[in-house]
């Protein structure tokens, strides 16, 4: 017997932990810097190494799950995340923190790759959209709780932002070991790490170069790019079975563009609120709460609409265009806080509706045997887009104010006017969101043709 709601609880807790951990760190950065006596470059590394490791680990997770089984690997990820969070509390220096944050990020990558496939295996076809939508609420709650909770915990001790993961992880592991169904692995399955090596060799210097505005790292990334290309030619990041689904490629492109625009907005505005308006981290987190609050109900709404109507393209297009228009309007009228809150609420509705529908369609586009591959590919590209979106902000700030070109990812405590750069960033995010909607047009055409001739995925996922 499959305890589907217990599985939903476990995977939702896993997503919640990862979501909180990816945002709660921002509020602790000044305290960590003061405690260890380090500068902004090392502090930025604490943030970005988590994202890079999470993205990198998504690449071999599919192969590892095939060898060891989804449940075994997923619970291993939970254990690594919980233990690394605990050990950060006792770290004697920043190097240990960076290493443990990398382990924590890798564990989050495992949970991100396998959580949705495990969830979808436990629910029937007509229930999956709602299940994914409910699971997506955890990201909204994590985005909401992370900055606000972090602001309060840092006042007591910055270590508490990591210690809070431990009881959640222990409870979820206990429930998961009992209720998540075991899936057999294939001990003879070969785990290929060449793609992982090629990806890391390229992405690490690229992101560090962009984040720190360091030409040497960027040159290194350019020199290593051919290595990355060769590894992808040898074994593409998108499995060949999915490459035959051309609509899947357009959907991936759309989700990557949406993530590039969606995830950096709160970060850009939090910097603007704290540096230009002088808000405290707690007040800034509260001011930004309209965005994730809307996602709490909009994520399951997107899944419900997909299950009820089957009009995937219309739901996604409407959501991502709403996101883009409202983000751009924030950039045009940046100085009215009430107006910003209203537009953030609408942007959260649009982005969350899009996220729930696109996630379900992307993972369910092929046969059940390809769900893990489809999930891992989608989340890998989304995380790459997330990293790129965060890394773009200091570049835009440098162009807006060349005197501050040395700023890195986190810009706290600098008395500079970055309003112009944030406006440019928001307008660019709005344009990227609209382009993500336009990319859905060929997706729709291909799915319609496939439906007409009886090919491709199940009729429920056909957009009409």
Model confidence over 313-329: pLDDT tens digits?
A: 899 999 999 999 999 99
Q: Can you give the pLDDT at residue 459?
A: 41
What's the burial of 187, exposed, middle or buried (CB within 10 Å: 0-12/13-18/19+)?
exposed
Which CATH architecture best describes the domain 1-187?
Answer: Up-down Bundle (1.20)
* Residues 310 and 462 sit within 8 Å (Cβ to Cβ): yes
148: which 2 tokens?
A: 């606000």
At 409 the pLDDT is 38
Does domain 239-464 fall into CATH 1.10.3720.10?
Answer: no
What DSSP string describes 248-295? HHHHHHHHHHHHHHHTTHHHHHHHHHHHTS---HHHHHHHTTHHHHHH
pLDDT of residue 413: 45
Who has greater pLDDT, 44 or 76? 76
Q: Any idea of the CA torsion for 245, 249, 255, 257, to the nearest 10 degrees?
A: -170
Q: What percent of the chain has pLDDT over 70?
A: 84
Instruction: Please determine, for residue 366, whether its predicted confidence score (pLDDT) is greater than 70.
Output: no
Mean pLDDT value of segment 3-17: 85
pLDDT of residue 406: 44
Residues 6+ apart with CB under 8 A from 116: 11, 132, 135, 359, 363, 375
pLDDT, average across residues 154-170: 89
pLDDT exceeds 90 at position 407? no
Supply the pLDDT for residue 232. 72
246 vs 263, residue with greater confidence: 246
Task: Quote the pLDDT of residue 140.
Answer: 66
Tokens of 421: 């750069």
The larger pLDDT score, comparing residue 410 to residue 36, is at 36
Q: How confident is the model at residue 21 (pLDDT cuts 50, 70, 90)?
A: confident
Per-residue model confidence (pLDDT) at position 27: 67
Q: What is the pLDDT of residue 349?
A: 93
Q: What is the mean pLDDT of residues 459-463?
A: 42
pLDDT over 60 at 411, yes or no: no
Domain boundaries, the chain: 1-187, 193-234, 239-464
Q: Which of 12-26, 59-73, 91-105, 239-253 has the highest mean pLDDT?
A: 91-105
Reported as a pLDDT band with limits 50, 70 and 90, residue 66 is confident
* Mean pLDDT to the nearest integer, 281-293: 76
Give 51-64 as a 3 state SS string: HHHHHHHHHHHHHH
User: Does residue 280 have a pLDDT over 80?
Assistant: no
Average the pLDDT over 398-423 and give the result.
58
Higher pLDDT, 239 or 405: 239
Report the alpha-carbon distance of residue 205 to residue 210 in Å, rounded: 8
The pLDDT, as a whole number, for residue 28 is: 73
Share of the chain above pLDDT 90, in %: 19
Mean of pLDDT values over 430-459 = 78
Domains 1-187 and 239-464 share a fold: yes
Q: Of residues 187 and 345, which shows the higher confidence score?
A: 345
Cβ atoms of 310 and 460 within 8 Å: the answer is yes
Give dist(CA 295, CA 350) in Å, integer.
9
- CA 296/CA 304 separation, integer angstroms: 13
pLDDT over 80 at 153, yes or no:
yes
- Per-residue confidence (pLDDT) for residue 211, from 0 to 100: 65
What pLDDT digit, counting tens, does each position of 119-138 carry?
A: 888 887 777 777 877 887 77
């Amino acid at each position: 017997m499959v305890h589907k709601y217990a599985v939903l609880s476990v995977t939702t807790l896993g997503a919640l932990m990862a979501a909180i951990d990816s945002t709660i760190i921002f509020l602790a950065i000044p305290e960590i810097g003061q405690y260890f006596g380090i500068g902004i470059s090392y502090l930025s590394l604490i943030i970005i190494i988590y994202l890079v490791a999470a993205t990198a680990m998504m690449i071999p997770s599919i192969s590892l799950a095939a060898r060891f089984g989804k449940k075994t690997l997923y619970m291993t990820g939970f254990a690594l995340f919980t233990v690394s969070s605990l050990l950060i509390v006792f770290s004697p220096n920043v190097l240990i923190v960076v290493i443990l944050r990398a382990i924590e990020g890798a564990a989050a990558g495992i949970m991100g790759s396998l959580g949705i496939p495990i969830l979808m295996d436990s629910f029937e076809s007509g229930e999956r959209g709602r299940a994914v939508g409910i699971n997506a609420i955890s990201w909204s709650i994590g985005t909401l709780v992370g900055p606000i909770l972090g602001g309060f915990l840092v006042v007591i001790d910055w270590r508490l932002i990591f210690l809070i993961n431990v009881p959640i992880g222990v409870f979820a592991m206990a429930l998961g070991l009992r209720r998540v169904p075991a899936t057999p692995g294939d001990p003879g399955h070969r785990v290929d790490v060449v793609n992982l090596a090629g990806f890391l060799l390229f992405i690490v210097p690229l992101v560090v170069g962009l984040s720190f505005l360091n030409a040497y790292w960027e040159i290194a990334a350019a020199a290593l790019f051919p290595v990355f290309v060769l590894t992808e030619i040898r074994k593409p990041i998108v499995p060949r079975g999915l490459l035959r689904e051309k609509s899947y490629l357009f959907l991936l492109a759309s989700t990557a563009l949406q993530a590039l625009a969606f995830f950096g907005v709160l970060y850009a505005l939090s910097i603007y609120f704290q540096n230009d308006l002088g808000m405290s981290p707690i007040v800034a987190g509260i001011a930004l709460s309209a965005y994730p609050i809307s996602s709490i109900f909009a994520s399951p709404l997107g899944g419900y609409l997909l299950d009820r109507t089957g009009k995937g393209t219309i739901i996604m297009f409407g959501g991502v265009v709403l996101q883009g228009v409202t983000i751009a309007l924030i950039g045009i009228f940046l100085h009215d806080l009430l107006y910003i809150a209203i537009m953030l609420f609408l942007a959260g509705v649009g982005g969350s509706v899009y996220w729930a529908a696109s996630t379900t369609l992307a993972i369910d586009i092929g046969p059940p045997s390809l769900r893990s591959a489809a999930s891992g590919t989608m989340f890998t590209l989304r995380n790459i887009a997330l990293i790129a979106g965060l890394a773009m902000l200091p570049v835009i700030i440098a162009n807006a104010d060349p005197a501050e070109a040395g700023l890195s990812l986190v810009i706290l405590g600098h008395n500079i006017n970055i309003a112009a750069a944030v406006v440019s960033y928001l307008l660019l995010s709005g344009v990227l969101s609209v382009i993500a909607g336009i990319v859905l047009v060929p997706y729709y055409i291909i799915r319609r043709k496939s439906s007409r001739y009886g090919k491709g995925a199940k009729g429920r996922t056909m957009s009409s």
